[in-house]
Chains A and B, each alone.
Chain A
Amino acid sequence: MNKSDTPTLAPQPGLPAPAASWHDRKGLVQIGLLAVLLLVPLAAYFLGHVYYVNLASRITLVAMAAVGLNLAIGYGGMVSFGHAAYFGLGGYVAGISAYHAFDFTPVIGWPVAIPGSDSMLAIWLAAILLCGLLALVIGAISLRTTGVYFIMITLAFAQMIYYFANSWPTYGGEDGLPIYLRNSLPVIDTNDALTFFLICFGGLVLSLALTSRIMKSRFGAALTMARLNDTRLATAGIAPYPIRLVAFVISAMITGLAGALYADLNGFVSPTMLSWHMSGELMVIVILGGVGRLYGPLAGAILFVMMETLLGGLTEYWQLFLGLVLLFVVLFAKHGVMGWLAGRERHE
């Protein structure tokens, strides 16, 4: 039966050709998106429109936060509705550290004195470590559940942190915390809009490269199997839970680093960065761009921020149009903007 049943094997020598051209198309779209994101602010900067440079930084950082979320949702099948917790925590790390550096007071006085710092390198490291730690705790508990329960429990954790920040007066409570002087790097002038954009761009490219590399590795193969069929993974002898947990932690670290940069971009951090609106916004970006597509978050962030900026300038009801676009994507273009631009993803 199997011998006679497989005439489809015959035309197989022809297969590599369309697969290769499909690959080219995806590559072109990816390079195109990065090129637009890099060249537009460059042009704007030299034409003297700093506003657009900062807009590009915003797109870049929101995209990077969504790259982190995409690792959880798209690649790991873990629909986290609480990634604002990491985005906001990263933001607060930048804000609180700068606040104490400005005041010359320690962040923590006991049991060890930790001074504030306006060094971005120190802040990034702290944001990555703290977000990883938070995700380890939240993930360890949340990943015992699946489906709707997982969505709700991640949301609940994020809301707890949101209300905590809201009611903690030391760091501004609901008014938020200003960062008077943008945090600094050795040699480089981070106050320059283009320089700061390039730092953000570097962060985005790095997080894309990291995600791509991880997903091609053994860990990525295990994570993919955990998403597609966790029974198969367990039957092979790999427990799905630790695989998911580690992916969840990496995901939070990427989103947290984006959050630290985002606070520096705005010179301000407030509980808004921790709110469920923020979590929802990141989810919308991932879905718009294409769930589980490497460049989906970038495509989604460009579309989202441009709509917010252009339509938001015309009407305060711009989210109505966002809703319509989202409806269209979910109903007619299930693979998001990336699916539409670059074709369906085919596993090798």
Chain B
Amino acid sequence: MSDAVLKLANLNKRFGALQATRDVSLDLYPGEIHALIGPNGAGKSTLIGQIAGNLKPDAGSIVLAGRDITSLSVAQRARLGLGRSFQVSSLAEPLTVKRNVMIAVQALQGHSFRFWKPVHRDERLLVPAMEALERMALTQRADTPVAELSHGERRQVEVACALALKPRALLLDEPMAGLGPEGSAHLTELLEALKHEVPILLIEHDMDAVFRLADRISVLVAGGVIAHGDSAAIRANPQVREAYLGD
């Protein structure tokens, strides 16, 4: 088996008396979708914060493509190839879809201290941005301000922004949140097509989507991973049924 793209080793994070992350070790291999599920309050957001760089773990390490990124900033991690989407949409609403994606392309191409050439006819930005939009079936919405998009389309733009970074790994935080069954099915299809290009660590509540997409599933309860395996193993695991699936 090839090396893990993303590897979390023995992460720990404590807020006062609350152990929010308890000795979590996870890995993500090329070509797979690894889903992370867990009930509310299991510490998913805290874990994502540590992977993305918003929070610093108390102990443990995060390695991206062989490089220790534990102490790097959000922007530095992004430059090294960690793309992420947010649970709550974090797009610039007044700007068009295209502009939101172009900023990611711009970041990928080096520093932004270029003051002269107008971006609106910069092919080096436009072409890759349109490619990312095409992959998320958004070509027709490229010139629409994000504020005018449906909830589902915004989710797709989020993923397109992450894709435009040409990431080594994607961290998707509840991409299905707030989507209806149709929207969820549509995004599931798009993500399924994507996993061979970039491995995805998927944090998701939508069990249908998780069981359909995930090659492996880890279950987080009270800050720690209590189970790990493929869909069938997780469905059958009595501990998981008790803690999470509720029967």
Query: A: which residues have CB within 8 A of B?
Result: 1-2, 5-6, 8-9, 213-214, 216-222, 224-225, 228-229, 231-239, 243, 246, 346-348
**A236 and B92 contact, CB distance less than 8 A:** no
- Does B73 count as interface, using CB distance less than 8 angstroms? yes
**B115 and A214 contact, CB distance less than 8 A:** yes
Query: B: which residues have CB within 8 A of A?
Result: 52, 73-76, 78-79, 84, 86, 90-96, 99-100, 102-104, 106-108, 112-120, 122, 125, 137, 140-141, 143, 145, 148, 150, 152-153, 156, 161-162, 165, 180, 182-183, 186
**A216 and B100 contact, CB distance less than 8 A:** no
User: Can you give 20 A-B contacts (C-beta < 8 A)?
Assistant: A1-B150, A6-B140, A6-B141, A6-B150, A217-B117, A219-B113, A220-B115, A220-B119, A221-B106, A224-B92, A229-B91, A235-B78, A235-B162, A236-B106, A236-B161, A237-B108, A238-B112, A243-B112, A347-B95, A348-B96
Partner of B150 from the list A2, A216, A228, A239 (CB cut-off 8 Å) is A2
- Residues of B near A238 (CB, < 8 A) are 75, 103, 106-107, 112
**A222 and B78 contact, CB distance less than 8 A:** no
**A234 and B78 contact, CB distance less than 8 A:** yes
**B75 and A229 contact, CB distance less than 8 A:** no
The complex places the Cα of A237 from the Cα of B99 at a distance, in Å, of 15
Answer whether A237 and B78 are a contact pair too, CB < 8 Å, given A2-B152, A232-B100.
yes
Closest to A216 in B: B118
Q: Which 9 A-B pairs have the closest CB atoms?
A: A237-B78, A228-B92, A237-B107, A1-B182, A222-B112, A216-B118, A237-B79, A236-B107, A239-B75
The complex places the Cα of A6 from the Cα of B137 at a distance, in Å, of 13
**B94 and A236 contact, CB distance less than 8 A:** no
Partner of A228 from the list B94, B96, B148, B161 (CB cut-off 8 Å) is B94
Most buried by A among B52, B74, B99, B103: B103
Chain A binding surface, main DSSP class: helix
**B73 and A239 contact, CB distance less than 8 A:** yes
Additional A-B contacts beyond A218-B117, A232-B92 (8; CB < 8 A): A2-B137, A9-B140, A214-B115, A219-B114, A219-B115, A222-B112, A238-B107, A347-B94
- Residues of B near A243 (CB, < 8 A) are 112
Q: Nearest chain B CB to A245's CB is how many angstroms away?
A: 11
- Residues of B near A213 (CB, < 8 A) are 115-116, 118
The complex places the Cα of A72 from the Cα of B133 at a distance, in Å, of 32
**A236 and B103 contact, CB distance less than 8 A:** yes
Partner of B95 from the list A216, A224, A231, A234 (CB cut-off 8 Å) is A224
**B180 and A1 contact, CB distance less than 8 A:** yes
Partner of A221 from the list B108, B112, B137, B165 (CB cut-off 8 Å) is B112
Answer whether A217 and B114 are a contact pair too, CB < 8 Å, given A234-B75, A347-B96.
yes
The complex places the Cα of A216 from the Cα of B125 at a distance, in Å, of 13
The complex places the Cα of A229 from the Cα of B76 at a distance, in Å, of 17
**A1 and B165 contact, CB distance less than 8 A:** no
The complex places the Cα of A243 from the Cα of B114 at a distance, in Å, of 11
The complex places the Cα of A213 from the Cα of B114 at a distance, in Å, of 11
Q: Nearest chain A CB to B74's CB is how many angstroms away?
A: 4
**A234 and B106 contact, CB distance less than 8 A:** no
Q: Nearest chain B CB to A236's CB is how many angstroms away?
A: 4
Closest to A5 in B: B150
Closest to B116 in A: A217
Partner of B183 from the list A2, A218, A234 (CB cut-off 8 Å) is A2
The complex places the Cα of A16 from the Cα of B140 at a distance, in Å, of 15
Answer whether A218 and B95 are a contact pair too, CB < 8 Å, given A2-B152, A237-B107.
no
Partner of A235 from the list B74, B112, B117, B120 (CB cut-off 8 Å) is B74
